[in-house]
Amino acid sequence: MEPFDPAELPELLKLYYRRLFPYAQYYRWLNYGGVVKNYFQHREFSFTLKDDIYIRYQSFNNQSDLEKEMQKMNPYKIDIGAVYSHRPNQHNTVKLGAFQAQEKELVFDIDMTDYDDVRRCCSSADICSKCWTLMTMAIRIIDRALKEDFGFKHRLWVYSGRRGVHCWVCDESVRKLSSAVRSGIVEYLSLVKGGQDVKKKVHLSENVHPFVRKSISIIKKYFEGYALVGQDILENKESWDKILALVPENILSQDHFYVSLQYNEKGDHFNFQKHHSSLQRWEYLKKAASQCPSNIKNEKCGPWLEWEIMLQYCFPRLDINVSKGINHLLKSPFSVHPKTGRISVPIDLQKVDQFDPFAVPTISSICHELDAIFTSEAEKEENQAESDIKHRTRDYKKTSLAPYVKVFEQFLENLDKSRKGELLKKSDLQKDF
By residue count, the chain amounts to 433
Contact 153, 415 (CB under 8 A): no
- Where b means 16+ CB within 10 Å and e means fewer, 354-375 reads ebebeebbbbbbbbebbeeeee
CA distance 149 to 134: 21
Q: Which of 164, 113, 108 is nearest to 340 (CA)?
A: 164
How many other CB atoms are found less than 10 A from the CB of residue 420? Answer: 11
Determine contact, residues 361/20, Cβ cutoff 8 Å.
no
Catalytic residues, by residue number, are 44, 109, 111
Rounded CA separation 191/309 (Å): 12
Distance of CA 71 to the CA centre of its chain: 27
Q: Distance of alpha carbon 282 from its chain centroid, rounded? A: 30
Amino acid at 392: R
Residue type, 326: I
The backbone torsions φ and ψ at residue 364, rounded to the nearest 5 degrees and listed phi first, read -60, -50
Q: How far is CA 305 from CA 195, 217, 287, 290, in A?
A: 20, 15, 11, 9
Q: Are 278 and 235 in contact (CB under 8 A)?
A: yes
Cα(162)–Cα(338) distance, rounded to whole angstroms? Answer: 10
Taking the alpha carbons at both ends of the chain, their separation in whole angstroms is: 60
Burial class (CB within 10 angstroms; exposed 0-12, middle 13-18, buried 19+) of 217: exposed
Cβ–Cβ < 8 Å for 18, 69: no
Q: Is 230 helix (H, G, I), strand (E, B) or coil?
A: helix
d(CA 265, CA 249): 22
How far apart, in whole angstroms, are the C-alpha atoms of residue 9 and residue 65? Answer: 23
